[in-house]
Amino acid sequence: MNLTIAILIFIVGISIGSFLNAVIWRLHTKENFLKGRSYCPKCRAHIRARDLMPVMSFLLLRGKCRDCGKSISWQYPLIELVTAVAFVILYGVFGLTISFFVAAVYTGFLVIVFMFDLKHYLILDRVMLPAAIVAFFGSLLIGLSIWNILLGAVIGGGFFMLQFLLSGGKWIGGGDIRLGAVMGLMLGWQGVLVALFISYLVGSITGVILIFSGRKSWQSRLPFGVFLTLATFIALVWGDAIASWYSSILGYQ
């Protein structure tokens, strides 16, 4: 891992995180995210060019809009930093390879789904459809076989489809089914099993913590896409290691 390249990737990651913030905001307001300037969601004043520096501007403005003084969501610097750190992790694991670029694009989609589900409890088809197309071709590009990719999608989508049917649509929404299929396209069949296992582990631990800290009740809905995207990233990076560790526990080699 070359430190100069890692720093450059961090800076690029911060800028892409900034773009993802704009995408998340404009998906919510249904604006075109390739056109138009950024504005303050509270007072609608256009944001000056010098205040558009990712993370830095947030710190310099002490988290407040220059025009109306209302606080800017912590979401903005957080997404920028998370994207940057994720990109550096990917570089550390894959180096500057085609796998790195494909995984970085997948991460961009995962960040959008993560944040949008956390804020709005929604997984949008306008995100899942392009994600599915990109994941199919991206996984072909990094050498997954077409059968591996399609089997992954059937396992991921089918897993949630089954719960959807069993619960009459109460536990699971259509967005979860489509996200499950996209996870399979991104990870292949082994990777999607690893991701589903991790998401249930992380999801149930978080659920129990939230219930016992009094922030949620047993009846509360959890934005499950948050755990699924997090688990997909972990499986993307460490999936092979986790799968071989798990099969060594079971005694297979």
Name the residues that contact Zn ion, by CB under 5 A. Answer: 40, 42-43, 65, 67-68
Nearest approach in angstroms of CB 42 to Zn ion is 5
CB of 73 to Zn ion, least distance (A): 12
Q: Which is nearer to Zn ion, 65 or 177 (CB)?
A: 65
Q: How far apart are CA 214 and CA 175, in angstroms?
A: 28
Q: For residues 40 and 88, which CB has a smaller minimum distance to Zn ion in the complex?
A: 40
Nearest residue to 230 via CA among 132, 93, 115: 115
Smallest gap from residue 70 Cβ to Zn ion (A): 6
CA dihedral in degrees (138, 140, 145, 151; nearest 10)?
40
Least separation in angstroms between residue 37's CB and Zn ion is 14
Pick the closer one to Zn ion by CB: 48 or 120: 48
**Structure tokens belonging to residue 127:** 């995100």
> Tokens standing for 24?
């998340």
Least distance in angstroms from the C-beta of 52 to Zn ion: 14
Question: Using CA atoms, how far apart are residues 5 and 17, in angstroms rounded to an integer?
Answer: 18
What DSSP character marks residue 43? T
Q: Which is nearer to Zn ion, 65 or 153 (CB)?
A: 65
- Classify 217 as helix, strand or coil: coil
User: In angstroms, what is the minimal distance from the CB of 69 to Zn ion?
Assistant: 7
With 0-12 / 13-18 / 19 or more C-beta atoms within 10 angstroms meaning exposed / middle / buried, residue 91 is buried
- Of the two residues 41 and 130, which places its CB atom closer to Zn ion in the complex? 41
The smaller minimum CB distance to Zn ion, of residues 76 and 224, is found at: 76
Residue 93 CB-density burial (10 A; 0-12 exposed, 13-18 middle, 19+ buried): middle
